[in-house]
Structure 1
Amino acid sequence: MVPTLSRSAHAAMLSAAHRAAPYEACGILLGTAAHIRTAAPTANVAADPTRHFEIDPAALVATHRAARDGSGPQVIGYFHSHPNGLARPSATDQTSAARDGRVWAIVANDAITCWRDGADGFEPLSYRVVEG
């Protein structure tokens, strides 16, 4: 199944990457397994945000808690940018991945690629941008 990505989520990731440069932007992808509705930017609290990202733990915990108790959308995955790199998982991304099946979207040079964080590593994931 090719998941869909809302036009607003697509725009939010590109905007977050532009605003954060030269630092890495990051955030949380929300929706359903078939449709990413929202890309919610968060603070990057990494020690070196020019080369790494770390989603603000307080935002991450609050988002997961809201999803669990039904008051918020489901966490589908995460996004971050590679301001001076390629729109594919880096060696650092490979080592920090949880292998939990979530989607990782990577923004670089005005392109967004999506990847499934699978048991055997990242697998490219096709998507379509749609309204809503």
Structure 2
Amino acid sequence: MIELSRAVYDDIVYHAYGGGEAEICGVLAGTYGDDGEPSVVTDTYRAENVAETPQIRYLIDPEEQFELIETIEDDGLDVVGFYHSHPTGPTHPSETDAARATWPDHSYVICALDGYPFVGSWRWRGDDDEFEQETVSVRSER
């Protein structure tokens, strides 16, 4: 399970709309949930999509990803996972998404804009490109 603050959920959706026809991407930070505990996302760290075909793929430059991870850790947070959008597609990972996943047991949030925006999340289990759908909850600000 993954829990997003309302601000995080809204930021992902607005970022996705701002990307137009191109996929957007970024890193999710907060408290990493392990052993049945939910991951709690409190912050998003936007990244530039440097894919050759950003309309159907996303890619975070490795140097930028490293810098974002260092910033997240310096801020006292955990890397919870990653997010990107599917401007015209579903909320489940594509074959390419599965093939490029590299963080076992971390969340991959996808914002679909085909119709009403919907945010889904998947955990990559690290074997045979297997993703497991996880429940997304949005926490109201307190």
**TM-score, structure 2 as length reference:** 0.84
Q: Please, which of 83, 87, 95 is the counterpart of residue 87 of structure 2?
A: 83
- Measure, in 2, the Cα distance between the counterparts of 1:71 and 1:87: 29
Q: Which residue in 1 is equivalent to 2:26?
A: 27
Structure 1 residue 63, shift from structure 2 partner: 2.0
- Measure, in 1, the Cα distance between the counterparts of 2:71 and 2:86: 29
**TM-score, structure 1 as length reference:** 0.90
Which stretch shows the higher mean deviation, 116-125 or 56-65? 56-65
SS at match of 2:98: helix
Change (3 A) 1:24 1:81: same
Contact 1:63 1:72 in 2 (8 A): no
Query: Could you list the runs of 4 or more consecutive aligned residues of structure 1 that deviate by over 6 angstroms after TM superposition?
Result: none
Q: Which residue in 2 is equivalent to 1:129?
A: 138
Structure 1 residue 67, shift from structure 2 partner: 4.1
In structure 1, runs of 5+ residues without a counterpart are none
Structure 1 residue 99, shift from structure 2 partner: 5.2
SS at match of 1:13: helix
SS at match of 1:46: coil
In structure 2, runs of 5+ residues without a counterpart are 33-38
Contact 2:29 2:72 in 1 (8 A): no
- Measure, in 2, the Cα distance between the counterparts of 1:114 and 1:29: 12
Deviations 1:91-118 (A, max 9, x none): 1111111251110000102000010011
Contact 1:31 1:38 in 2 (8 A): yes
Q: Which amino acid aligns with 1:87?
A: T
- What's the Cα RMSD here? 1.6
Deviations 1:65-99 (A, max 9, x none): 2345x444211110001111111101111111125
